[in-house]
Amino acid sequence: MKKKKNIYKSMSKLFLMLIFLAIGIWIVLFNINNVFKSNTVSSLLTSVIDLTSNTKEEISFLIVGTNDNLTDTIIYGKYNTKENQLYLMSIPRDTYINNTKCIGNKINSLYRGKNLDEFLKEIENLLDVEIDYYGIFDSKLVIEVVDAVGGVEINVPQRMYYIGGDPQIVIDLKKGLQVLNGKKAEQFLRYRTGYANADLGRVEAQREFIKAFIKTVLKPANMKNIPKVIKISLENMSTNATTREIMKYIGEFKEIDINNIVSVTMPNTPEYIGGLSYVIADKEEARKIIKEDWKKQAKEE
């Protein structure tokens, strides 16, 4: 029983951390729907041990959060199963690309719910990587997961107020330490116009929310909510990971030090083109970080 509890605790932390990163993610667990319906969490985790042979030393994934089919959150990640280390790189939604299926040359308008292959290829070409798995979710997942854990306490860095868009969105948050429910958390994550550096400011805010969410979910009082969080994720995310692939890697996941996650923003330069604000990716530096200097870059940020 002690061994089962340790395995359960280890898996729970990593699962919740990844769910959170995209605010509900743990992309590799999406397709355990049928398994989860017929097994308890403990028996499911116990059965994983026999499926962990021949795991890749390193797996790569893409976390994508959408609003109205625009990709508002794009995070490329790598997990090293040997070093038990997680690396993440946020890609600003205003990143300039030249793709005929893109509207307005911003990367967030390429996917639009129908251009998945083009979107994945664009990320792979941009960073010179191969993506093993992807997970795509919308704001409904954010709202429901945050509400499932009773809200998230975070220090809102400034007054956040915005009304606009089509369809119209309303963001109205006071400055200061407070507990955000699901809808307010969505507002916090979508806010960008009031930051001096716009989208880059939002990327930084998302990181702070990630830390706050993880701490909230891992509180002892919230452990009972894990099955509910899993169920919500299963119902609101799409991925290419198969059940067997999910099971194969879970056995390799040990406890990850949340404070040691390497998280950076893709190197870029803000620029106005045709009167519109973009960020121009520094492809060479981004690729260098991914292949060589990820830890070093994280320390410099």
On whether residue 132 sits in a domain, the answer given is: yes
- Per-residue pLDDT of 213-231, as tens digits, reads 877 877 888 878 877 877 7
Please state whether beta strands 237-239 and 176-180 pair in parallel, antiparallel, or not at all (unpaired).
Answer: unpaired
- Per-residue pLDDT of 32-75, as tens digits, reads 333 333 343 434 333 333 444 456 778 899 989 888 788 988 99
Task: Return the CATH number at 96.
Answer: 3.40.630.190
Evaluate if residue 178 carries a pLDDT over 50.
Answer: yes
On whether residue 109 sits in a domain, the answer given is: yes
Task: Tell me, rounded to whole angstroms, the distance of Cα 259 from its chain centroid.
Answer: 16
Q: Which domain, by its residues, includes 53? A: 2-147+224-300
Dihedral sign (CA 238, 242, 244, 248): negative
Residue 300 one-letter amino acid: E
Determine the 3-state secondary structure of 164 from DSSP: strand
On whether residue 246 sits in a domain, the answer given is: yes
On whether residue 16 sits in a domain, the answer given is: yes
On whether residue 25 sits in a domain, the answer given is: yes
Report the distance separating Cα 107 and Cα 62, nearest Å: 14
Total structural domains in the chain?
A: 1
Omega prior to 270 cis, within 30 of 0 = no
For 132-247, strand residue ranges (E) read 133-138, 152-156, 160-164, 169-173, 176-180, 237-239
pTM: 0.72
Report the distance separating Cα 89 and Cα 267, nearest Å: 9
On whether residue 193 sits in a domain, the answer given is: no
Nearest to 72 by CA among 111, 108, 105, 102: 108
